[in-house]
Amino acid sequence: MQVKTNHLLLACYIVLALTGCRDKSRFKIKTSESRIEVKIKRFDQALIQLDSKNPNAIKELYKQYPEFLPVYTSQILDIQASDTSKIDSLFRQFSVDKQFSNVNKKTMETFSDVTDIEKSISDAYTYIRHYFPTAKLPEIYFFVSGFNRSVLMTDKFIGVGTDFYLGADYPPYKDISYKYLLYNMRRECVATDIVSATLFRMFIINSDEDRLLEHMLFRGKVMYLLSVCMPDQTQASIMGYKPEQMEWCLKFEKDIWATMLDHKDLFSSDSQLIHKYLNDAPFTAPISQDSPGRLGTWIGLQIIESYMQSHPEIDLPTLMRESNYQKILQNSGYRP
C-alpha cells in the first residue's frame, strides 16, 4: 500500500498509540481502594522442584493443588487423576528429564519473582470488580508442560504455561512455534494475556448476526475494556504488536478501512474471511502481506475508541451490553 501522509500528523498518532491510547480519564479509579489482591499459585515451581526421592511427594502435590492437578493431568498428560501410579511415574521422570532440565532452569530464573505480574493483574482485577461487581474473577496458576500446552481454563481458574514466556529469542522456540508468534512469548506479555483471557471469558458475542462487523466490534469492545483495566499499557502492547507494526497500522489506517468497505468485507458471514481478519497470522491476508495479523480486531478497537469518545455518557457496562453493532458503527463517527 502507498499513501501520501502528513508526517507530523502521523508522528502525533504514533506517539498516542505507543504511549497510552486515547483519553479514558473518566474511567480512572484508585486501585488502592477496594483492592483485589491476586496471588499466583506456583504449580510450575512445585513440579520443577519435585523431590523424586520422596515417596510422598506426589501425595503432597495433590494436597497442595487439589483443584488444579486433576485438570492438569487430564488435559496435559491425558491421564485421569485417579491413575495415581502412572502420574507418579511421569512426574518423577519429568523432574529428572535432561531434555527439559535447561528449560525448567530458565523458567525458574525468568519467573523467580512474580510480584510485578501479580501487581498488574491485581490492578486490572480491581478495575473489573469496580465496573462489574458481580464478575467472578478466576484464580491464577502457573504451570510447565514441556511445551505441551500454554493455557488451561475452567470456570474457577486460568492456568498459564510459564515455559511459553521465556523470551522471543529463546532458541528452543524456533522448533516449536511460528516466527510471527515469537514476539508475544515474552515475560512482559503474561499479565496482559491473563487479563485478556479473563475478559474474553466474562463476555460472549451478543448478536443475532454473524458477520465480520459483529466479530470485530465485539473484540474491539473487549480490547477497549482491556486498555481501561490496564491503563499503563500502550495500544501496541494491548494488541501484541511490535512498534513498527503499530506504525504500519497508523500509516495505512485509511487504506485498510477503504479496502474493507470496497470489498464489502464488513458485512460478510464467510467464516474463512472472518478468520483471516481476526486470527493470529503473519499478516492479514485480505489487506496486505506487509500488514500485521488481526487487523480486524485492531480496526474494531479504533471504532470503539471513536464511539466512546463521541459518547461520553456511555459507561462500560452499557458498552459491553450493547448488541446492535450496526448502530455502534453508525454512531461512532469513525472516519480514518
pLDDT tens by residue, 11-33:
544 455 544 445 788 999 999 99
Rounded mean pLDDT, 203-219: 95
Which residue, of 180, 201, 222, is where some domain finishes? Answer: 201
**Domain match, 114 and 263 both:** no
Q: Which stretch of 78-82, 194-198, 261-265, 298-302 has the lowest confidence by average pLDDT?
A: 78-82
**Domain match, 55 and 184 both:** yes
**Domain match, 86 and 181 both:** yes
Question: CA 12, 17, 19, 21 torsion: positive or negative?
Answer: positive
Between CA 117 and CA 160, with CA 57 as vertex, the angle to 5 degrees is 25
Q: What tens digit of pLDDT does each residue of 101-142 get?
A: 999 999 999 999 999 999 999 999 999 999 999 999 999 999
pTM for this prediction? 0.92
**Domain match, 167 and 250 both:** no
Reduced to 3 states, what is the DSSP secondary structure of residue 252?
Answer: coil
Q: How far apart are CA 80 and CA 70, in angstroms?
A: 7
Which pLDDT band, with edges at 50, 70 and 90, does 3 fall under?
very low
Which long-range contacts link 166-169 to residues 24+ away (Cβ below 8 Å)? Answer: 166/103, 166/106, 166/107, 166/110, 167/110
Picking from 214, 218, 187, the residue whose alpha carbon sits closest to that of residue 319 is 218
Establish if 34 belongs to a structural domain: no
**Domain match, 78 and 221 both:** no
Q: What nine digits make up the cell of 297?
A: 480486531
The secondary structure of 225-248 as a DSSP string is: HHHHHSTTS-HHHHHT--HHHHHH
Which pLDDT band, with edges at 50, 70 and 90, does 7 fall under?
low
Provide the CA 259 distance to its chain's centre, in angstroms: 27
Q: What tens digit of pLDDT does each residue of 62-72 get?
A: 999 999 999 99
Mutual angle of helices 115-131 and 190-202, in 10-degree steps: 30
Establish if 33 belongs to a structural domain: no
**Domain match, 46 and 15 both:** no
Q: Are strands 139-143 and 41-42 parallel, antiparallel or unpaired?
A: parallel
**Domain match, 54 and 192 both:** yes
**Domain match, 180 and 295 both:** no
Q: How far apart are CA 202 and CA 117, in angstroms?
A: 21
Establish if 32 belongs to a structural domain: no
Establish if 2 belongs to a structural domain: no
**Domain match, 18 and 125 both:** no
Q: How far apart are CA 69 and CA 82, in angstroms?
A: 11
Range of the domain at 210: 7-27+206-332
Establish if 82 belongs to a structural domain: yes
Picking from 104, 71, 76, the residue whose alpha carbon sits closest to that of residue 90 is 76
Residue 10 has pLDDT above 60, yes or no: no
CB contact set of 24 (below 8 Å; sequence gap of 6+) = 227, 228, 231, 308
Establish if 1 belongs to a structural domain: no
Which residue, of 161, 185, 201, is where some domain finishes? Answer: 201
Which pLDDT band, with edges at 50, 70 and 90, does 58 fall under?
confident
Picking from 62, 63, 117, 51, the residue whose alpha carbon sits closest to that of residue 85 is 62
Establish if 11 belongs to a structural domain: yes
* Identity at 123, one-letter amino acid code: D
Q: What nine digits make up the cell of 242?
A: 511490535
Provide the CA 99 distance to its chain's centre, in angstroms: 29
Domain count, the chain: 2
CA distances from 204 to 126, 188, 199, 209, 321 (A): 21, 27, 9, 13, 10
Which residue, of 168, 201, 234, is where some domain finishes? Answer: 201
Q: How far apart are CA 173 and CA 176, in angstroms?
A: 5
Element spanning 9, H or E: helix 7-19
Establish if 131 belongs to a structural domain: yes
Inter-residue contact 1 to 286 (CB < 8 Å): no
Rounded mean pLDDT, 262-287: 98
**Domain match, 116 and 260 both:** no
**Domain match, 151 and 112 both:** yes
**Domain match, 181 and 51 both:** yes
Residue 156 has pLDDT above 60, yes or no: yes
